[in-house]
Amino acid sequence: MQKTNQTSEAVVSVVMSATSAFAQDFNKGVGAYNAGDYATALQEFRPLAEQGVASAQYNLGIMYENGQGVPRDDAEAVKWYRLASEQGYGSALMTLSSMYEQGISVEEDTEKALSLLYQAADQNDAAAFNRLGYLHAVGQYVEKNLGAAVEFHKLAAQQGFANSQCDLGRHYAHGIGVEQNLAEAQRWYRLAAQAGQTLAQHSLAGLLFNSHNPHRDTSEGMQWLEAAAEAGVVKAQYEAGSLKLGNTFPELEDFQGAEFWLTNAAKNGSAEALYQIGNCFEHGVGVEQNYAAAVHNYFEALKKDNTEAAFALGTLYEHGLGVEKDLTNALKCYGIAADKFHVSALFNKGRFYQFGWAEKADYAMAHHHYLMAAERGHKMCQFLVGQALLNGAEGVTIDLSGGASWVLSAAEAGLAEAQAVVGFCYLSGKGVGKDFKEALRWSRLAAEQGHAWAQCRTAHILIRFGDKGEAEFREAIKWLILSYNQSEGEDERRHEFIKSDYEYLRSALPKPIFEAACKAVEINTHA
């Protein structure tokens, strides 16, 4: 027979419901049980149980279930639990409900389990309210009803039942079955956290770190996170160590504390902590930079299937940091991470196929990996996919509309090179309809990021397709000068175009205005 998780704590928590005539003997039994003197406890509980004292019947059931002071006897345990439950004893009703639900010592009967659970709730049993809250939240044995789940948890939480207080915190934090209310979430989490409920401590910490919480308090958040960490919550240990590196919240920077919690989390099996330790050694964060130590920790994390560690090892093998440079191993590591759709690993694996590093050059395979990364938001890959579709590449069929769409995605993500290409597409009607205003808008965005050709093109659009007013010409002069001041590549011919437009503006503007515009660029450039 499986146990129903009844322990000596169940006896300790029993409401002393025996009459005053039995109270002394009952209390003596409780004391003996907690001291491990099961013979004396049995001697005190049995007469009371036989006289119909529900709490003694329940405790006797526990002793038979666990074989404490008596031979373990499943049937006898069920007998005493049932006798206590027939008197409406909440804990006995809950225990029997669990036994019927799981088929422990009785035939499985979920309807009977639910009936007993409601009977326990009728006795105002907090554990029953908590269980009903869970069942209504997930729709198990009853129709899913999030609002009812909240109400059941409230009934338990108001009695100080920590698990329901924690669940209420989650409902209010995420707006599950109730309107989102972070202040109310914080209140319930805190009550459960103060009672030592580790999930509540961890969740309260997360809420206090939440940037959307008007009551955010990173100092208190760290206190609760460390409370959960000290209680052995490995994820909390990892998070405490990571936050003490100070990258997210500079005010929490504490390298000694970071080392302590990350080391503990790593010892307790956290792959994320091993990766973070490796990252600290790689970049010299809180410790002296040590590539060999980084490699060691990354390998330990990789043994635990950590994707970030696989990617990091790929970069170290590619550049020969902490290990001998080895493009074959780099590709293997990138491949491990790429198989789990790590977008940067997909990009790097694409590069290897594009340039023939450790594999025969194969742009179709490169494009395949770039596309997978593009579909997951990698802006450089969106640009590369778009360019291949716009201009054609080995193994890639031209698709002007699709190409323009991918490049636009990269442009919207802020990639200057993509913004410049989108500007050209709108100017030339390549993959999109001609639109000089959009051509100017996108070219200007790229120009503002210092893209030389976009600066040149912005000026050209202002001169040829704008209102041709003084303001447009002044702006055009600015972009021409800024572009000209950037060196050009071999066979680029950008400076040639700039000189042509520059001379046009010299002739189109009065000399004082032209010279003032040129002077303004020079001043701003050297400001």
- Per-residue model confidence (pLDDT) at position 3: 46
Residues 130 and 163: beta-carbon distance below 8 Å: yes
Q: Where do we find the tokens 């004396």?
A: 40
Q: How many CB atoms lie within 10 A of CB 23?
A: 14
What are the φ/ψ torsions at residue 317 (nearest 5 degrees)?
Answer: -65, -40
Cβ atoms 350, 373 nearer than 8 A: yes
pLDDT below 50 — which residues of the chain? 1-19, 526-527
As a whole number of angstroms, the distance between CA 493 and CA 486 comes to 12
Please report the pLDDT score of residue 441 as a whole number. Answer: 98
In angstroms, rounded to a whole number, what is the distance separating the alpha carbons of residues 181 and 174? 8
Q: Rounded to an integer, what is the distance from CA 509 to the centroid of its chain?
A: 58
What φ, ψ does residue 453 adopt, rounded to 5°? Answer: -65, -35
Note the pLDDT of residue 523.
61
The amino acid present at 258, given as its one-letter code, is A
Report how far apart, in Å, the C-alpha atoms of 256 and of each of 19, 173, 228, 284, 313 are.
Answer: 58, 32, 19, 14, 26
pLDDT at res. 524: 60
Residue 142 — φ and ψ, nearest 5°? -135, 165
Amino acid identity, residue 163?
A: N
Question: How far apart, in whole angstroms, are the C-alpha atoms of residue 329 and residue 350?
Answer: 15
What pLDDT is attached to residue 2? 43
Q: Is 194 exposed, middle or buried (0-12, 13-18, 19+ CB in 10 A)?
A: middle
Name residue 396's beta-bridge partners. 393
- 358 phi and psi angles, rounded to 5 deg: 65, 0
Tokens of residue 356, six digits: 């023939």
- Give residue 492's pLDDT: 81
Burial readout 253-290 (b: 16 or more C-beta within 10 A, e: otherwise): ebeebbbbbbebbbeeebbbbbbbbbbbbbeeebeeeb
Cα distance between residue 149 and residue 138, in whole Å: 9
186: tokens are 């914080």
Element (H, E) at 522: helix 511-526
* Residue 399 burial (10 A CB sphere; 0-12, 13-18, 19+): middle
Contacts 24+ apart (CB under 8 A), 248-254: 248/209, 249/209, 249/218, 251/218, 251/219, 252/218, 252/219, 252/222
- The answer to whether residues 364 and 389 touch, using CB atoms and an 8 Å cutoff, is no
pLDDT, tens digit (0-9, with 9 covering 90-100), for 394-450: 999 999 999 999 999 999 999 999 999 999 999 999 999 999 999 999 999 999 999
How far apart are the C-alpha atoms of 522 and 230, rounded to whole Å? 61
Both tokens of 427, joined, read 């100017």
pLDDT digits (tens, 9 = 90+) for 135-149: 999 999 999 999 999
The encoded tokens of residue 327 equal 């493009």
pLDDT at 23: 74
CA distance 489 to 298: 40
* Region class of 69: left (phi > 0), else alpha (psi between -120 and 50), else beta: left
